[in-house]
Amino acid sequence: MYNLEDRTLVLAISVRNFLKQLPHNLANSEDIKQLIRSSGSIGANYIEANESLSRKDFIMHMRISRKEAKESVFWLNILLQSNHLNQELNSHCIKLISETTEIKKILSAIINKSLKD
């Protein structure tokens, strides 16, 4: 499909497109801010990891990327469960949760392999 850098970029953009369609209220506004930060940080830290100068730095940035993926799933679940979304938005959110979870698993596998080497 994509390399992981492209895949994290597509995820961040897809999250933003999803968020544009949500109802505007105070709770959503705060949750959206958090999700925008965490979803973008997945790819940003992945890029940082790939440009790292040491193995320790690589692993640290990969762990941050994975942490941000976990956080993104959390915020997506909050938005999913706290809004009465139509079927299309509900489906879109579930797909985003699935993709983010898959990326998190890939990052975990990379971290585990890096720790064994």
pLDDT tens figures, 8-25 = 999 999 999 999 999 989
Please state which CATH number belongs to domain 4-116. Answer: 1.20.1440.60
pLDDT at residue 80 tops 50: yes
| Residue spans of beta strands (DSSP E) within 15-77 | none
Tokens of 69: 């993926």
- In Å, what is the CA distance from 28 to each residue of 81, 101, 110? 11, 22, 33
pLDDT at residue 1 tops 50: no
pLDDT at residue 111 tops 90: yes
pLDDT band for position 52 (50/70/90)?
A: very high
Mean pLDDT score of the chain, rounded to an integer?
Answer: 96
Rounded Cα–Cα distance for residues 78 and 56 (Å): 33
Domain ranges of the chain: 4-116
Contacts of 100 (CB under 8 A, 6+ apart): 11, 39, 42, 69, 72, 73, 76
pLDDT score, position 2: 62
